[in-house]
Structure 1
């Protein structure tokens, strides 16, 4: 009986440690580099390519750096994203160093507020997963009807999950040998 209780206690410690290591919100520099918020030079340079290779969770933040005298960031609805309508923004950011916290799951649409930039490809769709995916480590692909544009296939940021798992497993094994 004592062995069972000990194993149960260790498993609870393991779950707790895993939840701590896997729950930290992240900041993403849009495009993965400073001043990436610009008209792409080619389709392969699209910010959606960058977004497809990233995994965004509720609580994470996006950070844009750009020349505030020449550009801005608009959070828009799907229809405005498709048509590049800059007159009906949900939010407008124009400080040159913009940070937006992703507060709900689903697709988030951003376009440039500079004349003609959106039409030339300066826009991005970010698909945000719910908090429960932070612990599970598995993410469903979004429905094609949810997102207009290139398919967005979320990827697993397994490195932090594996590191947390190994630390927790090491602690658990260490307790068992005590």
Structure 2
């Protein structure tokens, strides 16, 4: 079984000049974030000109409305590092006037270690006991597929009787 407890560091957008107004919808940082699986403990790193811009962590509502007046946290050092310390969604917008409205924002969804296990080969759940004679235990993936088909077919036929 694979173990994903080691924290990873992500350069936001995958390159140093990514924290800017996107040139197109396909250049959006959210497209980048959708391609990654972030875990609790991972680190996001922004590289940008701290004299011209900032990173604001905001609520979902402020993200949607591009409200910069009540951020959860303000970062303007040009080398912002944020630890993803809980599972769920994080919302970030640019603090530069008008930039959020032009698409300079990011949503990152962090999975807990528990949720990540379902993507990494966690043990399969025990089979459900169905009324009737028990079937012999399958010994391979092909046998499991056959057994599942037989059970599904039996349930389907049972509905028609």
TM-score when normalising by structure 1: 0.65
- Determine which structure has the larger helix proportion and give its number: 1
Q: Which residue matches 2:7?
A: 25
Confirm or deny: 8 A CA contact 1:57 1:133 kept in the other structure.
no
How far does residue 23 in structure 1 lie from its aligned partner after superposition? 1.4
Separation in 1, partners of 2:118, 2:10: 21
Provide the residue aligned with 1:111 in structure 2: 93
TM-score with structure 2 setting the length: 0.71
Mind listing any 5+ residue stretches in structure 1 that lack a counterpart? 1-14, 139-178
Corresponding position: 1:102 with 2:72:
no
Counterpart of 2:28? 46
Does the residue aligned with 1:81 lie in a helix, a strand or coil? helix
1:82-119 superposed Cα distances (whole Å, 9 cap, x missing partner)? 00000010000000000000011111000000000000
- Alpha-carbon contact 1:58-1:102 (below 8 Å) kept: yes
Q: Distance in 1 between matches of 2:118 and 2:55?
A: 32
Aligned to 1:66: 48
Matches within 5 A, 1:135-154: 135-137=117-119
Q: Does residue 1:126 correspond to 2:108, yes or no?
A: yes
Q: Deviations over 1:144-168 (max 9, x none)?
A: xxxxxxxxxxxxxxxxxxxxxxxxx
Q: Output the CA distance in 1 between the equivalents of 2:76 and 2:53.
A: 7
Larger Rg: 2
Count of matched residue pairs: 120
1:31-54, Cα deviation, whole Å (9 max, x unpaired): 011110000000000000000001
- SS, match of residue 92 in structure 1: strand
Q: Which runs of 4+ in 1 moved over 4 A?
A: none
CA positional deviation for 1:131 = 1.8
Aligned CA-pair RMSD: 1.2
Q: Which residue of 1 aligns with 2:61?
A: 79
